[in-house]
Structure 1
Amino acid sequence: MKVLSKKLDQFLERVLVEHEARRKTTGYTNRDMVDVLLELAEDPMLDVKLERHGVKAFTQDLLAGGTESSAVTVEWAMSELLKKPEIFKKATKELDQVIGQNRWVMEKDIPSLPYVEAIVKETMRLHPVSPMLSPRLAREDCKVGEYDIKKGTQVLVNIWTIHIDPLIWENPNEFNPDRFIGKEIDVKGQDFELLPFGSGRRMCPGYALGLKVIQSSLANLLHGFNWSLPGEVKPEELDMEEIYGLSTPRKFPLVVIAEPRLPLGLYNSMI
C-alpha cells in the first residue's frame, strides 16, 4: 500500500503540474474540476485552506468513484441479462436499429438508447454499488417519518432497502428494465426512490463520470458481441452471490463466452 501510495501521488502530482502549466497559457478558458480545486487552494478568502494534498485526495475520489464502481455495475448488468435472454435480445435490437452494424456506440448516442438506459437504472436499483450511503449528521432536531432525530445524530441511509420496497416498486426483486420505460425516474439524486449515487451536496462526486462509463461500456459490450454462459451452466443456475465491502461486487467473477457480432474490421480499429 505504501508503494502504491507513492505511485498514485506521483501520478496526481503530474496531473496538477500539467493543469498549472495550462492555466498560465494565454486564453485558457476550458476549466475542469482540477482547475477549480487549484483555484480554491489559492483563494486567500477561504476560511479553511485547501492544501495541495487535499486537491490530490479529492481528485483521487473522483477517479475511484467513476471507475471501480462502474466495473462492478457493468458486471452485474451482464449477469442479470444472461439470466434473461429475452431482455438481452430487446437491447441488441434497439442497438441495431439506432446504431447499425458499421460503428461502435458513442457517448452522444446514449440519449437515443432508452432501453439500454433502463437496463442501467434497473441494475443500479437491484445492485447498488454502495447499499449504505455515507453517514449524515443531523444539524438540528428534526422528524424523519415517525422518528424524532436529535441534533448531532449520525444517520445512515439504507438505499438497498428503498430500492426493493414493495410499497414503491412492483415485483421489486425481479429484474425488469421495462419498469423505467416512459417514466422520468433518474439516478441523479432528485428521485428519492432511486438513489445509487446518493443525493444533495454529499452525493458521489464521480457520478457523472461513472454513469457515462457504465452506459457507454455496457452499450458497446451488448452491441459488439454475442454473449453466452459456458455450456454446462444454465441461465437459472448462474450464481448471483455478492460480497459487501467498500463496494458490492459479485462473490465469484462472471465467466462468459464472447463472439463478435459486428464486421471484423471494426474490432481492428478499436484495438
Structure 2
Amino acid sequence: MAQTVMRTHDHVFASRPPSIAADILLYGTKDVAFAPYGEHWRQERKLCAMHLLSTKKVQSFRHAREEEVSFVIEKIRKAQEYSSGPINMSELLHSFANDVICRVVSGKFYRKEGRNDMFRELIEKSSALISGFHFEDFFPVLYWLDFISGFASKAKKIAKKWDDVLEEVIKEHCNSNRLKDSMQESDFVDVLLSLQNDLHIEFGLTKEHIKAILQDMFAAGTDTSYITLEWAMTELMRHKESMRKLQAEVRRIAGEKEIVKEEDLIEMSYLKAVIKEILRLHPAVPLLLPRESMKDCQIKDYQIPKRTRVIINAWAINRHPKFWCATEEFHPERFMGSSVEYKGNDFQFIPFGAGKRICLGMSFAISTMELILANLIYHFDWELPYGVMKEEIDMTEAPGITVRKKEKIYLVPKLYVHV
C-alpha cells in the first residue's frame, strides 16, 4: 500500500496537508518539507538538491564533520581525566548533531557564542508545536479555539525568535569580505544568498524562503541524526557481541590513526549494517510526514477522495514479519550481503520515505552518523554505570513527530590504547 501511494500514485499524493503551526513558523510554508505541492515547491526542492544537499556539496563539508568529531572525542577524553563517572551520552550526541548542522548551515564559530544552544531550544519548541493537536488543522471552523488555548500566541513568539536569529545570521553573511577575511568555509547561507540574485533561478527566492529553508535544515539535521545515534549506542550496549564485532572492524580498518576518516568508512560494512538496523528498528520519524491527495484516486478497492490525509507507518513496515525475520530483535547481520537499501526503492525499508517527498538530507545524515559512531567505537570501550545491567536499560519512547528515548542514556568511556 505504501508503494502504491509513494510510487504508483506519487503524483497524486505528493502534497502536504495544511498545518497551522507550520504556516506560522515557516512563513506560510515557504520551506521544502511542509510546502504544498506545486511549481514553487518543485523549484525550491530542485535548488536544495542541486546546491545544498548534492553529493558534491555533502563531500565538501567532510573537513567540518571530521573537525567536529575530533572535538567530541577530545571532550570525552578530558571528561574522563577529571572523573571516572558516567557521561550523559544523549546530551553529548545532541550537542554534536546540533554543532555539525549549525556549522555547515550558518557558520563555524557559533558554539562559542552560545547560538547553537539557542537553535536547539527553538528546534525543540518548534517540533513540539508542529507535532501537537491544533483545532484548525482538523476542524477549520473551530480555528478560534487555537487562539483561546494560547497556541497561536505561543507559535508567533517562537516564529519571532526564529526570525530574529536568522535575520542576524543573514546580515553577518551579507558581508562580502566575510570568507576572505576569516578564511571561513562557505556554508548553506552563503550558497542561498548567492542564489538569491541568480538569473537562472526560475522563481523569486526571497529572504523569507531562505529563512524557511534554513529552519528545515536546522530541525531535520539535528533531531534525526541525534535520535539515531542515541538508539545506536543504546542497542550496542544491550548487545555486546554486536559491539565487539563493530569495534573489531573499525579498529582493524582504521589501524592506529588519530581519528577515523571518511575514506575509512567505505570498507566498514558492519558499521553500515548497524546504522541500517537502527533505522529499521528505530526510525527517527516513524510516521514520516503526512501527505495529502490532490485529486480523487482509486487504490485497490478504496476510493480515496481529494484532500485525504495519508499517514505512512514506516515503523510498522520496517518490522513487518512478511519481509523481516525476528522483527523485534537487533540483528545487523540481516543487512550483511543484502541489497536492501534505505533510498526509497525497497518499500519494506523506508526510514527516509520515498518518491517525490523522500528526505533530501539522507546522504548528509548518513555521512555524519557513520563518522561519529565509528570514532566513538574506535577510541573508547563503553560500559554501563556501576550497578546497571543491560536488561535494565529503559527503552521507552517519547512521543512526538520524532521519537527519541524517553530516558537519557549514561555511559562510562574507557580510553582504548592502540597497540
TM-score, normalised via structure 2 length: 0.56
Residues 1:86 and 2:241 aligned together: yes
Report the alpha carbon displacement of residue 128 of structure 1 after superposing the two structures with TM.
0.7
Contact 1:65/1:207, CA 8 A, preserved across alignment:
no
What pairs with 1:75-114 in structure 2 (closer than 5 Å)?
75-114=230-269
Q: 1:8 to 1:48 in 2, by over 3 A?
A: closer
Q: 1:3 to 1:163 in 2, by over 3 A?
A: same
Report the alpha carbon displacement of residue 139 of structure 1 after superposing the two structures with TM.
3.0
Contact 2:276/2:332, CA 8 A, preserved across alignment:
yes
1:194 pairs with 340, 349, 356, which one?
Answer: 349
Question: Which has a greater percent of helix?
Answer: 2
Q: Once the two structures are superposed, what CA deviation does each residue of 1:203-242 show, in whole Å capped at 9, x if it has no partner?
A: 2232222111111111111111100111211111211111
Report the alpha carbon displacement of residue 41 of structure 1 after superposing the two structures with TM.
3.9
Report the alpha carbon displacement of residue 246 of structure 1 after superposing the two structures with TM.
3.1
Higher alpha-carbon deviation: 83-92 or 243-252: 243-252
The answer for the alignment partner of 1:141 in structure 2 is 296
Q: 1:225 to 1:45 in 2, by over 3 A?
A: closer
Residues 1:7 and 2:165 aligned together: yes
Residues 1:58 and 2:58 aligned together: no
Report the alpha carbon displacement of residue 195 of structure 1 after superposing the two structures with TM.
1.5
Q: Once the two structures are superposed, what CA deviation does each residue of 1:12-68 show, in whole Å capped at 9, x if it has no partner?
A: 4434x26x7699x9xxxx998656644664466877533112112212312332222
Higher alpha-carbon deviation: 147-156 or 104-113: 147-156
Counterpart CA distance in 2 for 1:202 and 1:72 is 21
The answer for the alignment partner of 2:358 in structure 1 is 203
Contact 2:342/2:352, CA 8 A, preserved across alignment:
yes
Counterpart CA distance in 1 for 2:171 and 2:290 is 30
The answer for the alignment partner of 1:268 in structure 2 is none
| Residue correspondences, number | 257
- Structure 1 SS opposite 2:367: helix
What pairs with 1:1-271 in structure 2 (closer than 5 Å)?
1=158, 2-3=160-161, 5-15=163-173, 17=174, 37-38=192-193, 41-42=196-197, 49-262=204-417
Counterpart CA distance in 2 for 1:150 and 1:39 is 42
Higher alpha-carbon deviation: 105-114 or 31-40: 31-40
Counterpart CA distance in 1 for 2:375 and 2:398 is 27
Contact 2:379/2:415, CA 8 A, preserved across alignment:
yes
TM-score, normalised via structure 1 length: 0.84
Counterpart CA distance in 2 for 1:206 and 1:103 is 28
Instruction: Give identity over the alignment, percent.
Output: 35
- Structure 2 SS opposite 1:198: coil
Alignment gaps of 5+ in structure 2 = 1-157
Contact 1:66/1:207, CA 8 A, preserved across alignment:
no
- Structure 2 SS opposite 1:103: coil
- Structure 1 SS opposite 2:257: coil
Q: 1:102 to 1:22 in 2, by over 3 A?
A: closer
RMSD: 2.8
Counterpart CA distance in 2 for 1:103 and 1:47 is 46
- Structure 2 SS opposite 1:257: strand
Counterpart CA distance in 2 for 1:34 and 1:7 is 13
Counterpart CA distance in 1 for 2:364 and 2:166 is 19
Q: Which has the higher contact order (CA 8 A, sep 6+)?
A: 2
Q: 1:4 to 1:35 in 2, by over 3 A?
A: closer
Counterpart residue identity of residue 238, structure 1 = I
Report the alpha carbon displacement of residue 190 of structure 1 after superposing the two structures with TM.
2.3
Counterpart CA distance in 1 for 2:207 and 2:401 is 26
Counterpart CA distance in 2 for 1:210 and 1:55 is 21
Contact 1:63/1:206, CA 8 A, preserved across alignment:
no
Counterpart residue identity of residue 9, structure 1 = E
The answer for the alignment partner of 2:80 in structure 1 is none
Report the alpha carbon displacement of residue 180 of structure 1 after superposing the two structures with TM.
0.4
Contact 1:135/1:157, CA 8 A, preserved across alignment:
yes
Counterpart CA distance in 2 for 1:144 and 1:35 is 44
Contact 2:163/2:211, CA 8 A, preserved across alignment:
no
Q: 1:56 to 1:105 in 2, by over 3 A?
A: same
